[in-house]
Amino acid sequence: MRAVIQRVSSAKVEVDAEISGEVGRGVLLLLGVERGDGEKNADAMLEKAAGLRIFPDEMGKMNLSLTDIGGAMLVVSQFTLLGDCRKGRRPSFDRAAPPEEARALYEYFLRQARARGLTVAAGVFQAHMRVSLVNDGPVTLLLET
């Protein structure tokens, strides 16, 4: 499982000019599910994303997590994170999980995040989405399980 996590002041995702998910202070998490990933990978990714100390404390140091600040998480499925661009000019997506598997883990990830008490918004799986964000920092990190 691979993710790009961005600390945001705000973020939203639109499908067909309708907002499907929107958050204020928190993170935008682009989530790619790889062949062979399972619930353990999703749990580990969620643990890492919710616990990353990427928000400033009262001294301005990145010492607080999403959980610590009560921030929100916008999760967007992003199979292109698994694209392999080493050969030729067209990315290969052989590492990406088939849509049925990826959807199941994406939805599992969302359920688990909500079960932890996080405020969670989401994109629409397999939809053409327009994602807007105000990256705070900017802080952008790559995560893998």
Nearest to 77 by CA among 118, 119, 21, 38: 21
The answer to whether the CB of 55 falls within 8 A of the CB of 101 is no
Q: 3-state DSSP call for residue 26? A: strand
Residues with catalytic annotation?
Answer: 78-80
Within its chain, how far is the Cα of 90 from the centroid? 24
Going by their DSSP bridges, the two strands 72-77 and 119-122 should be labelled as parallel
Q: What angle do CA 109, 139, 51 make, to 5 degrees?
A: 40
Nearest to 126 by CA among 97, 94, 89, 88: 97
